[in-house]
Structure 1
Amino acid sequence: MNLQELLNALLEELKSSDSLLRLVISTVVLICVVIFARWILRRYIRRNVNSTDLRRRWLVQLRNGLLLVLLLGLVMIWGNELRTFALSLVAIAVALVIATKELIICVSGTLIKSGSNAFQLGDRIQIKEYRGDVIDQNLLTTTILEVGPGKNMQQRSGRMVVIPNSLFAMEPLINESYSKDFVLHTFAIPFLRTDDWQRAQKELLRVAQIYCDEYLSDVKRHFDRISYRTGLDSPAVEPRVTLQFEEAEDITLVVRIPARAESRNWVEQNILNDVFSNNDFSSKQDA
């Protein structure tokens, strides 16, 4: 039942009520009695109370007392109809909430992301399977340019994704650009245990240090400022290569490098090209 139908039903119920005329007459009688009582009592007070202060006090108390009597009388007369009207209002409110549920959640998500300052235009975010650079946001939606495919890719796919803000009220958000100018970027390279992964580890670290050396001091100052502002420990920003074991026969080398936010993909691809164009790490397997 929609809002218009509920209002029509309420009006029809009031029109068809046999007691409507009795209620109106009772209301008119009550008002006339209160007005007449006020007129009689005011005249009595003015004629019989000589003190100005006392007379004014009695007149004020008379006015307030008769107003209270009038309100109580109206509530007693219209009590059943008021209860019916209140139930109708509740039904209307429930219908409105159900009809606008998604809009309410979207607005709530907007308030949450705005209040927490979760991200800004240009930031790279991920929520559920959606990942990309924020290009627009309004009260109901947030628009991103998709980056992918997959969470490890750093290039745009050419697709635009419009995300309802209701997701920000229900799902955790990842902001990959929280540090703005510079980021700590990671990428993983899988190897077999029989490969020469030790040499690959050393070579990846050497090439990463070459590419990151020119701006390493700027990165350290940048993260020191963030650490001072947030009260957190400043992270180590030097390139590093760590080991990860996801399968018994596999070894994954996880490379972490500092990079400018807009050039992280460029640095990653150059490191990979330099390392794997000039080296073959499957020598142990061939032997």
Structure 2
Amino acid sequence: MEQLLKWLDANPTFYSIFKYILLVAFVLIIIQIVRRFLRKNVTDTSARYKSQKGIEIIGYIVLVILSFSYFTGNIKDFTLAIGLFSAGIAFTLQELILSIAGSLYIFIVKVYKPGDRIEINGIKGDVIDIDSMYTTMMEIGQWVSSDNYSGRIVKLSNAFVFKGPVYNYSQDFPFIWDEFNLPIKYGSDIELAKSIVIKIASETLFDFTKNSKSKWKEIVNKYYIEDAVVDPTLAITLTDNWIQFNLRYIVDYKKRRHTKHILNDKIGEAIKNTNNKVVLASTTIELIKIPDLKVNLDGKSNT
């Protein structure tokens, strides 16, 4: 031990670095202890997550302040040290700095939060975690149809919030418009078909329509946007093969696929019970004229 102390006295630089490592380790241990305490004692999931992230950010800030104070020797030199430090690493660590700035921007501006469904940099998914560097998402889509999870967890740099649009499916207005087409055969009872589609859509989508109206009023009051129709609407188009019904409606962003299944199932069953007054169409081919064919059955030649 005496030899170690003598060696440290003879090498003050190493002694200073050793003390700094102990200081950093102490702060990191305190952060982990506080995080573990919060994880065990805070029952609310949202409050537990936010409190742990808050302690983590505060700990990093304390480490930065202590580091500059330790190496400059005076807290008054903190501003000067910040400037020199920033100038030295701005170029080499620009992506890292942009990611950290992105995380602060996400939390302060509330671009999105854990639990939101977003699309960013061409990737769609549900946000399951946001840290100082990355946003973690449970991916949706890709080789899986509709809005189902693919099973892949995606880590995306927070810097991407500055590089392109961020589509948020759930912030402010947790509803989306969806639609599908229904081909009705020419000669069907069109008025009966219209009444079937509108009646089933209104009944099935009643809760979505009711809840979305109040949310849409908040959107209109908050943003510069025109009012919109949230009730189910039906548009009819005449095509070469059938009368096309286009049903447009509003639905919870997490229940889009299931709701479309219910609507198709109920409408199909109701049309089936009309005793062919309403018939679903399919692609048809009309033959205008069949050419005359001459067949020689005796196999004899007329030459």
TM-score by length of 2: 0.50
The aligned runs of 1:167-186 (5 Å cut-off) are 167-179=160-172, 182-186=174-178
Query: Counterparts of 2:241 and 2:87 in 1: how far apart (Å)?
Result: 58
Q: Distance in 1 between matches of 2:145 and 2:247?
A: 12
Other structure's SS at 2:212 match: helix
1:155–1:107 Cα change, 3 Å? same
In the alignment, residue 110 of structure 1 is paired with which amino acid?
S
In the alignment, which residue of structure 2 is the partner of 1:102?
A: 95
Match of 1:237 in 2: 230
Paired residue secondary structure (2:150): strand
| Distance (whole Å) between structure 2 residues aligned to residue 112 and residue 243 of structure 1 | 46
- The C-alpha deviation readout for 1:58-97, integer Å capped at 9, x for no partner, is xxxxxxxxxxxxxxxxxxxxxxxxxxxxxxx99x977633
Runs of 4+ in 1 over 6 A off after TM superposition: 92-95, 190-194, 198-201, 248-253
Q: Would the aligned equivalents of 1:237 and 1:257 in 2 still touch at CA under 8 Å?
A: yes
Is the 1:201–1:241 contact (alpha carbons within 8 Å) kept by the matching residues of 2?
no
Q: Larger relative contact order (C-alpha < 8 A, sep ≥ 6)?
A: 1
1:232-284 CA deviation, whole Å, 9 max, x = no partner? 5443210124579xxx9999876432333443332122113333565663257
2:130 match: 137
Query: Does the CA contact (< 8 Å) of 1:125 and 1:173 recur in 2?
Result: yes
Match of 2:116 among 110, 113, 123: 123
Identical aligned residues as a percent: 19
- Aligned residue in 1 for 2:32: none
Q: Is the 8 A contact 2:169 2:253 kept in 1?
A: no
Residue type at the aligned position of 1:117: K
Deviation at residue 148 of structure 1 after TM alignment: 1.4
* Shift in Å, 1:227: 3.2
Alignment of 1:240-251 (within 5 A): 240-242=233-235
Equivalent residues in 2 for 1:41-190, closer than 5 Å: 96-149=89-142, 153-179=146-172, 182-189=174-181
Please give the secondary structure, in 2, of the residue aligned with 1:235: coil
- Give 3-state SS (helix, strand or coil) of 1:108's partner: helix
What is the DSSP-based 3-state SS (H/G/I as helix, E as strand, rest coil) of the residue aligned with 1:149?
coil
Q: State the Cα distance separating 1:159 from its structure 2 match.
A: 1.6
Of 261, 266, 269, 2:258 maps to 266
Q: Which structure 1 residue ranges, 5 or more long, are not aligned? A: 1-88
Q: Which residue of 2 aligns with 1:207?
A: 200
Q: Measured at CA, do residues 123 and 101 of structure 1 come closer, stay the same or move farther in structure 2, by a change above 3 Å?
A: same
Instruction: Report what 1:285 is aligned to.
Output: 284
RMSD between superposed Cα atoms in Å: 4.4
Contact 1:142-1:165 at 8 Å conserved across structures: yes
Question: What is the aligned length?
Answer: 195
Unmatched 5+ stretches in structure 2: 1-82, 273-278, 287-303
| TM norm structure 1 | 0.52
